Chain A
Amino acid sequence: MDQKELREIENRCIQEEPAWCMAECPLHVDVRLFLKKMAEGKWDAARKVLDKTMPFPGILGRICDHPCEKKCKRGEVDAPVAISELERACVTFTASLKKVMLLPDRGKRVAVIGSGLSSLTAAWDLIRKGYGVAIFEPGSYLGGSLWNLPHDLLPKQIIGDETALLQNTGVRINLKAAITPERFEEMYADFDAVYIGQDNEIACDFGLAQTPSGRIRTDDVTRAASRKGVFAGGIPEDGSTRPSPVLNAAQGRWAATSADRYIQNVSMTAARPHEGPMKTRLYTDITGIPPLPRTPVSDPEEGYDKEAAIGEAGRCLQCECMECVKACPYLEHYKSYPKSYARQIYNNLSIVKGDRKANTLINSCSLCRLCETVCPESFSMADLCHNARQEMVRVGKMPPSAHEFALLDMAFSNSDKCALARHAPGESGSAWLFFPGCQLSGSAPGHVTQSYSYLREKLGNRVGLMLGCCGAPAHWGGDAKRADAVTAQLKAQWTKMGHPRPVLACSSCMEMFRKFLPEADPVSLWEIMAREGLPETALNARAGASAVAVIDPCTARHDTGVQESVRHILRETGFSVAELDHSREMTECCGFGGLMANANPDMAREVIRRRAGQSPLDYVAYCAVCRDHLATTGKRTAHLLDYIWPDEAGPDPAERKNPGYSLRHENRARLREKLLSELWGEKTEETDACEKIVLHISDEVRDRLEDRRILTGDIQKVLFHVQNGGAHFKNPKTGHWLAVHRPLNVTFWVEYAPSGQGFEIYNAYCHRMIIVEEGK
């Protein structure tokens, strides 16, 4: 990722776009923050927000014509927030806390003609930028027509106070100044720039180009008039005759910016897209927001009292997007949103030395793509994290512990112990190829055997079988090399078998096959079943069937064909199908996707716990991993195939335990052996000496091993090592033994005692750190 790509990615997330009120305000007052402080009753903090952006808040806060309100999002629910009344309340109940900071004197001077809001603002901005400012006002006081406003709206005292502030900063004020063409020429000669405020009528021909309505013609943004160094403002928008106080102030501000740039001889037009009312790309969901009528003003003349103001400010929706964060516990966990995650990830990738704080952030995403489905701009956190993982693997900075366990699991599934590719018994070619996937084989091997004979019966005998893993774990972990190796191998097998059409039982396999073998046109087992009809056993399950909620796996999010087929099968089987709030396109990941469960087990547990609580009904999953993960929470969850071949599932399929990692391995290896001997009549080679070692493990220890990701196969290796002279300890008090062995990248410690033909296992633990032998 380079800076430019980062910028593009960041730009996709619109969470930081201005709220509608702020976008529409010509001065871009941060109305949302102002209202937040108001709603909290933090009056001074609210005032600070106004002071930061508004010139003369005491005046403008009372008389602003509030164009913001007509765009306020709350207006789409009921009525806009009374922003203007609230600004009035704020400036009424607080004193300005403004500390005037002047930049050092630049030795340049600007003349400001008139003293309406636009002129006052231009003068205020320029003096703070370090210019000498002189105001030339034809009348005998500052403020012009502001004095004509009703006293209730704008007390005279306030006009005096606010303009006095200007005097205190050192602006030179010339009242009763004669504004004539000759005097203007003198100013033009004496000053570095001139601003002409037309808020109030000035009877003088400045000799500048004019509009048909007799105003000085200016550029809309820069406010530059036809003569260099002359700027003008305080003019109603073309077509409007009513002066807008906030627009006048804004025009004075833009002119001050231009005069500053003009004097410094830099571009007046560069980088000014945000001046004036602007469009915002923000998205805020308002469904389900209850209407709440606008709070009436306590007294038409005085406006809101404090309590009413706090109540009205509370109507503000605090507009923001956060659609994805609301939907994804992972995004929520890191307390920010994708735009800022993109930067954190970029920084993480750019670090040469120092802590990579975002490693876990990058590796915890389940790549489930719910975010991009709910995001109005289709921001894909999945792509962001996946690309980052690939880059980390490429440069050798992927923490080994993040995915190693899953990668070893994949390697085991694709080893000679578990993998298999055959034409159907007695056939020399295949039209179809059943690929059940490593997870179904590990979780419910009986279902694989049944599905395979079902397919041969329905599709004619020419259905080949391939056992193995599709490579998804390597792909998810960002290990492109390993993933490519697996898929290349699968593709070669498929070619060798004569391009049979794959039938898949797992949506993750489907995603992978569609990516690396689209020409094979893979089809799901569910679509075949919905089309070809269910076996007798499924139909027998009808008795006693009731309502169930379907769990769509995240990898089938957009697979409507599969979703429909599954629901059809369930209804055929006699169930009535209930939909969770998060199903089909909006489905949630079970916490295994993207290897979340490997990189961040705590988060995966939290995710699945949330999922389990979404309905009191029994769940039915059609992904073996979703099924097993839900089972670990105690949530009653069956696999769809449990109802199709109930005999394989035990008395209550919804209570079937998660087989765990060790049993998964064993199931896969045994499945291969069983199929080879039952279908193809082949005797398998002797099991490894290791595997003959008999273990006795209590349930409690078994759970602990499961938590620590220690397989019984690992323990057998350690004991085999001891039997062949490996080092170990003994404890004379307990009579236990403690063996240590490092078969690969992890050192295992096993506490045991011989028992009968085998060993009783009391404990096992592991670490990755290496003890360096003396002299090495």
Chain B
Amino acid sequence: MSQMKISPETVDWECATCGRALELSKVHVAYLESRFTVELLRCPDCGLVYIPEELANGKMAEVERILEDK
């Protein structure tokens, strides 16, 4: 999961509710019985986490698959 890195510079999304730019922070993600900690972009105010398309279709999908086969 450590490869689930993203570079904040290329992300233009900001939180629509709070109007804040997103910041890197540690986030817990879980699937089936496993939990991981990853660095992801989130709204510093309300905590809304952003998952980019490349992550969802790439590393995340791969890890989902591996965990399903456990």
Contact with B along A310-352 (1 / 0, CB 8 A): 0000000000000000000000000000000000000000000
Residue from B12, B16, B64, B65 in contact with A728 in the complex, judged by beta carbons closer than 8 Å:
B16
Segment 10-64 of B: residues with Cβ below 8 Å from A: 12-17, 27-32, 35, 46-51, 53, 56-57, 60-61, 63-64
The answer to whether A356 has its CB under 8 Å from any CB of chain B is yes
Q: A771 with B69: in contact, given A727-B48, A763-B53 (CB under 8 Å)?
A: no
Q: Is there an interface contact between B16 and A771, defined as CB atoms closer than 8 Å?
A: no
Beta-carbon nearest neighbor of A357 in chain B? B69
Q: How far is the CA of A709 from the CA of B17 in the complex (A)?
A: 29
The answer to whether A401 has its CB under 8 Å from any CB of chain B is yes
Q: Is there an interface contact between B30 and A770, defined as CB atoms closer than 8 Å?
A: yes
The answer to whether A772 has its CB under 8 Å from any CB of chain B is yes
Q: How far is the CA of A400 from the CA of B35 in the complex (A)?
A: 17
Q: Is there an interface contact between B65 and A769, defined as CB atoms closer than 8 Å?
A: no
Segment 717-754 of A: residues with Cβ below 8 Å from B: 727-734, 737-738, 740, 747, 749
Residues in A with CB closer than 8 Å to B30 are 769-770, 772
Residues in B with CB closer than 8 Å to A730 are 13-14, 16
Q: A359 with B31: in contact, given A730-B13, A771-B51 (CB under 8 Å)?
A: no
Residues in A with CB closer than 8 Å to B16 are 727-730, 737
Q: How far is the CA of A364 from the CA of B13 in the complex (A)?
A: 39
Beta-carbon nearest neighbor of A725 in chain B? B17
Beta-carbon nearest neighbor of B41 in chain A? A729
Q: Interface majority SS on A: helix, strand, loop or mixed?
A: mixed
Q: How far is the CA of A518 from the CA of B30 in the complex (A)?
A: 46
The answer to whether A454 has its CB under 8 Å from any CB of chain B is no
Residue from A356, A737, A771 in contact with B28 in the complex, judged by beta carbons closer than 8 Å:
A771
Q: Is there an interface contact between B13 and A749, defined as CB atoms closer than 8 Å?
A: no
Residues in A with CB closer than 8 Å to B17 are 727-728
Q: How far is the CA of A365 from the CA of B31 in the complex (A)?
A: 26
Interface size, chain A (Cβ < 8 Å)? 35
The answer to whether B68 has its CB under 8 Å from any CB of chain A is yes
Q: Is there an interface contact between A400 and B68, defined as CB atoms closer than 8 Å?
A: yes
The answer to whether A765 has its CB under 8 Å from any CB of chain B is yes
Residue from A402, A708, A734, A769 in contact with B29 in the complex, judged by beta carbons closer than 8 Å:
A769
Q: A769 with B12: in contact, given A401-B68, A727-B46, A727-B48 (CB under 8 Å)?
A: no
Q: Is there an interface contact between A355 and B69, defined as CB atoms closer than 8 Å?
A: yes
Q: How far is the CA of A114 from the CA of B27 in the complex (A)?
A: 84
Q: A738 with B60: in contact, given A768-B31, A769-B29 (CB under 8 Å)?
A: no
Q: A767 with B13: in contact, given A356-B69, A727-B46, A772-B30 (CB under 8 Å)?
A: no
The answer to whether A766 has its CB under 8 Å from any CB of chain B is yes
Which one of A354, A734, A767 has the highest number of Cβ atoms from chain B below 10 Å of its Cβ? A767
Q: Is there an interface contact between A769 and B69, defined as CB atoms closer than 8 Å?
A: no
The answer to whether A774 has its CB under 8 Å from any CB of chain B is yes
Q: Is there an interface contact between A733 and B68, defined as CB atoms closer than 8 Å?
A: no
Residue from A356, A401, A734, A763 in contact with B64 in the complex, judged by beta carbons closer than 8 Å:
A401
The answer to whether A399 has its CB under 8 Å from any CB of chain B is yes
Residue from A400, A402, A708, A732 in contact with B12 in the complex, judged by beta carbons closer than 8 Å:
A732
Q: A767 with B60: in contact, given A357-B69, A731-B13, A737-B16 (CB under 8 Å)?
A: yes
Residues in B with CB closer than 8 Å to A355 are 69-70
Q: Is there an interface contact between B28 and A732, defined as CB atoms closer than 8 Å?
A: no
Q: Is there an interface contact between A771 and B49, defined as CB atoms closer than 8 Å?
A: yes
Q: How far is the CA of A713 from the CA of B47 in the complex (A)?
A: 28
Q: Is there an interface contact between A771 and B63, defined as CB atoms closer than 8 Å?
A: no
Q: Is there an interface contact between B68 and A771, defined as CB atoms closer than 8 Å?
A: no
Q: A767 with B56: in contact, given A727-B17, A729-B15, A774-B47 (CB under 8 Å)?
A: yes
Q: Is there an interface contact between A729 and B28, defined as CB atoms closer than 8 Å?
A: no
Q: How far is the CA of A774 from the CA of B47 in the complex (A)?
A: 8
Q: How far is the CA of A737 from the CA of B32 in the complex (A)?
A: 30
Residues in B with CB closer than 8 Å to A774 are 47
Segment 512-555 of A: residues with Cβ below 8 Å from B: none
Residues in B with CB closer than 8 Å to A763 are 53
Residues in A with CB closer than 8 Å to B14 are 729-732
Residues in A with CB closer than 8 Å to B53 are 749, 763, 765
Q: How far is the CA of A739 from the CA of B14 in the complex (A)?
A: 12
Q: How far is the CA of A613 from the CA of B4 in the complex (A)?
A: 41
Interchain residue pairs A-B with the least CB separation, the first 6: A399-B68, A772-B28, A729-B13, A767-B56, A730-B16, A769-B31
* 19 A-B pairs (CB sep. < 8 Å): A355-B69, A356-B70, A399-B68, A402-B68, A727-B17, A728-B17, A730-B16, A732-B14, A733-B12, A737-B16, A740-B51, A763-B53, A766-B56, A767-B56, A767-B61, A768-B31, A769-B30, A772-B35, A773-B47
Instruction: Other than A401-B64, A730-B13, A732-B12, give 20 A-B pairs with Cβ distance below 8 A.
Output: A399-B69, A402-B68, A727-B15, A727-B17, A727-B48, A728-B16, A729-B13, A729-B16, A730-B14, A731-B12, A732-B14, A733-B12, A734-B12, A747-B51, A765-B53, A767-B56, A770-B29, A771-B28, A771-B29, A771-B51
